[in-house]
Amino acid sequence: MHLADIHFGAADPRILDAAARYIKQIAPHAVVVSGDLTQSGKRREFDAARHWLRGLGLPCACTPGNHDTPMFQLHHRVLNPFGRYEKYLSEFSFPLRMGNIRIDGLNTARGWQARRNWAEGSVDLEDLDGILQRDAAEDIRLLSCHHPFIPPTDTPLQTATRR
């Protein structure tokens, strides 16, 4: 199952409970979350996300999104943007392997960037090369990231992912 933009801290608990029940009902092999697990990158939001993911009882892997950096502590956002993410969610790291499928995660979010829209993504080419050069016995390889490489054309907010 693939999820994104859960936004713990702003998410309706009833919807989170319904989603967890549905996930357990359909019993996927794993859950992949492509960023924005939190609303503001607060410790309590990360703790809630970790608790919810653990409660699924399934293999889970996550990549961070732009909301997973400390929104209100700019010094942390610039100097250590993913410190809290790594502290709370490191157990849900990639790669995720299931039979002949391998899923890797690529962080396209940035804590700070010299762009007007901080919600836009950027690919670190060294990180991408590292993923692509890894030997993988699996026949199918998937990549999870928060920002689209090609944005949908019919959305009101157009964004661009660099590189």
Higher-confidence residue of 57 and 76: namely: 57
Lowest mean pLDDT among 35-44, 122-131, 148-157: 148-157
pTM (two decimals): 0.90
pLDDT band at 13 (very low <50, low <70, confident <90, very high): very high
Would you call the peptide bond into 152 cis, given omega within 30 degrees of 0 as the criterion?
Answer: no
Per-residue pLDDT averaged across 43-47, rounded? 97
Q: What is the DSSP string of the chain?
A: -EE----BTTS-HHHHHHHHHHHHHH--S-EEEES--BSS--HHHHHHHHHHHHHHTS-EEEE--GGGS-SS-HHHHHH-TTHHHHHHHGGGPSPEEETTEEEEE-----S--SSS-TT--B--HHHHHHHHHS----SEEEEE-SS-SS--TT-SS----B-
Write the pLDDT tens digit of every residue in 59-68: 999 999 999 9
Q: Where are the domains of the chain?
A: 2-144
pLDDT per residue as tens digits for the range 66-121: 999 988 777 777 788 899 999 999 999 999 999 999 999 999 998 776 666 667 88
pLDDT of residue 117: 67
CATH classification (class only), 2-144: alpha beta
Q: Note the pLDDT of residue 50.
A: 98
Lowest mean pLDDT among 1-15, 24-38, 58-72: 58-72
The total of other beta-carbon atoms located within 10 Å of residue 95's CB is 16
Higher pLDDT, 12 or 158: 12
Instruction: Give the whole-angstrom CA distance, residue 112 versus residue 125.
Output: 17
| Distance separating the N- and C-terminal Cα atoms of the chain | 27
